[in-house]
Amino acid sequence: MKEWWVQVGLLSVPLLAVYLHIPPPKLSPALLSWRSSGGYFTYKDQNIFYRDSYGAVGSSDIVVLLHGFPTSSYDWCKIWEGLTQRFHRVIALDFVGFGFSDKPRPHRYSIFEQASIVEGLVRHLGLHHQRINLLSHDYGDTVAQELLHRSLQPLMLWLLFTEVASGRCRFHFGLVAQVYIALRAISRLCNTWRHRLPCNNRFLFSILQYINQRKKHRDRWVGALMSTSVPLHLIYGPLDPVNPHPEFLQLYKKVLPMSTVSVLDDHISHYPQLEDPTGFLNAYLNFINSF
Residue 183 has what pLDDT? Answer: 35
Q: What is the pLDDT of residue 59?
A: 86
**108 lies in a domain?**
yes
Mean pLDDT of 140-167: 64
Task: Report yes or no on 221 lying in a domain.
Answer: yes
pLDDT in the model for residue 155:
42
pTM of the model: 0.80
- Our count of domains for the chain comes to 1
- pLDDT recorded at residue 56: 84
* Per-residue pLDDT tens over the stretch 191-200: 434 444 444 5
pLDDT digits (tens, 9 = 90+) for 65-91: 999 999 999 999 999 999 999 999 999
**Using CA atoms, how far apart are residues 61 and 129, in angstroms rounded to an integer?**
13
Residue 3 inside a domain? The answer is: no
Average pLDDT score over residue span 169-175: 30
| 66 in Cβ contact with 155 (< 8 Å) | no
Q: In what order do the strands lie in the sheet with 62-66?
A: 39-43, 46-54, 89-93, 62-66, 132-137, 155-161, 232-236, 260-263
pLDDT of residue 208: 86
How far apart CA 159 and CA 137 sit, in angstroms, is 9
- Is 102 part of a structural domain of the chain? yes
Given a contact cutoff of 8 angstroms between Cβ atoms, the answer to whether 69 and 166 are in contact is no
**Residue % of the chain over a pLDDT of 70:** 75
Which residues form the domain of 69?
26-154+168-289
Report yes or no on 76 lying in a domain: yes
What does the angle CA 233 – CA 227 – CA 176 come to, to the nearest 5 degrees? 65
User: In this predicted structure, what is the pLDDT of residue 4?
Assistant: 60
**pLDDT tens column, 12-29:** 656 555 555 667 678 999
pLDDT at 109: 95
d(CA 64, CA 57): 18
Q: Please indicate, yes or no, if residue 139 is contained in any of the structural domains.
A: yes
pLDDT in tens, 208-259: 899 999 999 999 999 999 998 899 999 999 999 999 999 999 999 999 999 9
Query: Among the listed ranges 177-181, 217-221, 225-229, 262-266, which one has the minimum average pLDDT value?
Result: 177-181
List the CATH number of the domain containing 247: 3.40.50.1820
Find the radius of gyration of the CA atoms of the chain. Answer: 19
Is residue 162 situated within a structural domain?
no
Does residue 222 form part of some domain? yes
pLDDT of residue 22: 65
Residues 6+ away with beta carbon under 8 Å from 144: 66, 134, 136, 158, 160
pLDDT at 7 over 50: yes
Q: Tens digits of per-residue pLDDT, 31-78?
A: 999 999 999 999 999 999 999 999 988 888 999 999 999 999 999 999
**At 51, which helix (H) or strand (E)?**
strand 46-54
Rounded CA-CA distance 60/132 in Å is 10
